């Protein structure tokens, strides 16, 4: 048996997709960028991890959410009438039907999820009917957390999402803001706001050790532009955008050791900043495409940079780069080359997919309540292998993934091969299924009761996978496996996961 994947490097694109709540064994320290220091992904990621650590406690699998359904289709005040009674729950998920009207929502020292109806899986929004939350003023969270998914926010011309004192908010798939509403936000005192959806934002203030994270692309999403009228960072405020999809920021102000950290894919996207003030030891640091044929990824109208502050990108001087060529070449999936998952050519991340959490993908089992995965030493072979343990009742999967789309065409006539060993199984265990994730819709391969009699090598012809929907030019997660039925209590090990060319 060969060694399974090492703990992965934090690559520029990968954080947007996979590093949701990746816990660290020891506390991280913020890196202070010195004047003129070049953007470095590891240092940016170090800051990202340090800022996220105060929020990790809000995702506790041992303290599940109380789930209730509120139907406002006939009585728009149904949620407001029950709100005080629901205050007894520290962790509350409210599924809304129709339009629920409230003056404002105040959440203190507890976690609340507002969602519309889900679709076939816990990670999809239902397409039938509209779920909406109408507010006169704002959503405010103090020392608690807020999740918004599969829901439309309606109300007056201006609504705020305000976070105070170690608060957390996540704007997830299916969350939209009604036309004509300016969504503003104040994020203060070690709080975090994360957005995975396209938004047109008004004024955003990030202050006193807080962070706002905007995501420009998801695991299966198109690029998402980021549009903000005014962005103010003050007192160690941080704005982080991984795999940015471009967009417009009217005005940007960085003061008192604040950071604007940006990573853009090589896809010709441009982030336009109307004017920027970078002062009092603050930094704007960007990692952008290095293809000289591309239009610069960041364009700033007017900028003032104090001597103690930083304006830096990977380009030697992005403010004077030639912009005659207005377009980048169309994005093409990168050829992966010879791939061995866990080998030296490329780091592939271990991933959990868990329907029991709003965090759809996790690289750390601590954020997946239904599945655990870790390296162990096999008693028979003495090799380091990966053990997957389905500890919860919710549907979950294990896989390997990486950033971007990759072209696996060279394996058209090859095979996907791996070793598997079943350790324990439930009474209704019916074998395993396998698939790969791509920009497509692939059905599952039925593997049967493999590994039941000890280590077994399984080889799946790639032609069998393409026959049921796999698009080889857009592979993103090349290996996903899960037990069929009765998952809880199933423990198995895998090793030597390889795509083999003919």
Listed range (299-313, 343-357, 445-459) with the worst mean pLDDT: 343-357
The pLDDT of 150-174, averaged and rounded, is 91
> Residue 377 — pLDDT band, cuts 50, 70, 90?
confident
The pLDDT value recorded for residue 268 is: 60
> Residue 385 — pLDDT band, cuts 50, 70, 90?
confident
> Is 210 or 368 the better-scoring residue by pLDDT?
210
The pLDDT value recorded for residue 43 is: 57
Q: Give CA–CA dist 282/207, Å, rounded.
A: 13
> Is 363 or 488 the better-scoring residue by pLDDT?
488
The pLDDT value recorded for residue 388 is: 92
> Is 393 or 249 the better-scoring residue by pLDDT?
249
* Mean per-residue pLDDT over the chain, rounded: 77
* pLDDT of 291 higher than 80: no
The pLDDT value recorded for residue 311 is: 86
- Stated pTM of the model: 0.59
> Is 1 or 248 the better-scoring residue by pLDDT?
248
User: What are 67's two structure tokens?
Assistant: 């789930």
Q: Return the CA Rg of the chain.
A: 24
The pLDDT value recorded for residue 94 is: 94
* pLDDT of 236 higher than 80: yes
Query: What stretch of H or E contains 83?
Result: helix 78-83
User: What are 468's two structure tokens?
Assistant: 């049921």
* pLDDT of 192 higher than 60: yes
User: What are 50's two structure tokens?
Assistant: 């340090």
The pLDDT of 134-153, averaged and rounded, is 93
Listed range (184-188, 320-324, 376-380, 495-499) with the worst mean pLDDT: 320-324
| Helix (H/G/I), strand (E/B), else coil: 158 | strand
Strand 271-278 versus strand 131-135 pairing type: unpaired
Give the 3-state secondary structure of 92-124. Answer: EEEEEEEEEEECCEEEECCEEEEECCECCCCCC
* pLDDT of 42 higher than 80: no
Q: Which of 22, 359, 361 is nearest to 172 (CA)?
A: 359
The pLDDT value recorded for residue 337 is: 45
Q: Residue 455 has what DSSP assignment?
A: -
The pLDDT of 192-208, averaged and rounded, is 91
> Is 289 or 355 the better-scoring residue by pLDDT?
355
> Residue 18 — pLDDT band, cuts 50, 70, 90?
very low
| Helix (H/G/I), strand (E/B), else coil: 57 | helix
The pLDDT of 127-141, averaged and rounded, is 85
* pLDDT of 154 higher than 80: yes
> Residue 373 — pLDDT band, cuts 50, 70, 90?
confident
* pLDDT of 463 higher than 90: yes
The pLDDT value recorded for residue 201 is: 92
The pLDDT value recorded for residue 331 is: 36
> Is 373 or 142 the better-scoring residue by pLDDT?
142
């Amino acid at each position: 048996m060969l060694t399974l994947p090492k703990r992965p490097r934090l690559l520029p694109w990968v954080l947007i997709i996979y590093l949701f709540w990746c816990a660290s064994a020891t506390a991280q320290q913020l890196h202070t960028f010195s004047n003129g220091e070049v953007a470095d992904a590891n240092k940016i990621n170090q800051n990202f991890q340090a800022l996220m650590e105060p929020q990790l406690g809000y995702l506790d699998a041992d303290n599940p959410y109380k789930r209730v359904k509120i139907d406002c289709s006939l009585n728009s005040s149904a949620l407001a009438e029950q709100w005080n009674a629901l205050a007894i729950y520290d962790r509350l998920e409210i599924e809304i039907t129709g339009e629920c009207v409230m003056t404002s929502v105040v959440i203190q020292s507890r976690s609340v999820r507002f969602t519309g109806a889900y679709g076939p899986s816990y990670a999809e929004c239902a397409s039938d009917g509209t779920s909406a939350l109408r507010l006169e003023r704002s959503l405010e969270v103090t020392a608690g957390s807020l999740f918004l998914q599969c829901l439309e926010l309606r109300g007056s011309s201006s609504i705020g999402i305000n976070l105070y004192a170690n608060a957390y908010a996540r704007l997830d798939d299916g969350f939209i803001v009604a036309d004509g509403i300016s969504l503003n936000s104040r994020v203060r005192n070690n709080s975090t706001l994360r957005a995975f959806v396209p938004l047109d934002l008004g004024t955003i203030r990030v202050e006193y050790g807080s962070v706002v994270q905007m995501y420009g692309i998801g695991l299966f999403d198109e690029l998402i532009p980021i549009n903000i009228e005014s962005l103010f960072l003050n007192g160690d405020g941080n704005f982080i955008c991984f795999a940015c999809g471009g967009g417009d920021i009217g005005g940007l102000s960085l003061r008192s050791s604040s950071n604007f950290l940006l990573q853009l894919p090589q896809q010709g996207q441009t982030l336009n900043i109307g004017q920027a003030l970078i002062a009092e030891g603050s930094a704007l640091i960007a990692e952008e495409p290095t293809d000289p044929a591309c239009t610069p990824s960041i364009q700033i109208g007017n900028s003032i940079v104090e001597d103690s502050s930083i304006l830096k990108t990977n380009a030697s001087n992005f403010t004077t780069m030639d912009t005659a060529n207005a377009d980048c070449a169309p994005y093409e999936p990168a050829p992966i080359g010879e791939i061995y998952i866990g080998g030296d050519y490329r780091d592939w991340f271990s991933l959990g997919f868990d329907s029991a959490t709003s965090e759809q993908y996790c690289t750390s089992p601590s954020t997946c309540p239904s599945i655990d995965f870790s390296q162990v030493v096999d008693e028979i072979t003495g090799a380091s292998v990966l053990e997957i343990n389905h500890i919860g009742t919710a549907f979950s999967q294990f896989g390997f993934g990486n950033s971007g789309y990759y072209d696996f065409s060279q394996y058209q006539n090859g095979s996907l091969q791996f070793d598997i060993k079943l350790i324990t199984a439930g009474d209704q265990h019916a074998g395993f299924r396998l698939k790969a994730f791509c920009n497509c819709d692939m059905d599952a391969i039925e593997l049967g009761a493999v590994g039941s009699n000890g280590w077994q090598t399984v080889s799946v012809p790639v032609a069998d996978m393409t026959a049921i929907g796999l698009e080889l030019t857009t592979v993103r997660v090349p290996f996903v496996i899960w037990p069929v039925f009765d998952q809880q209590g199933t423990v198995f090990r895998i090793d030597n996961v390889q795509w083999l060319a003919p």
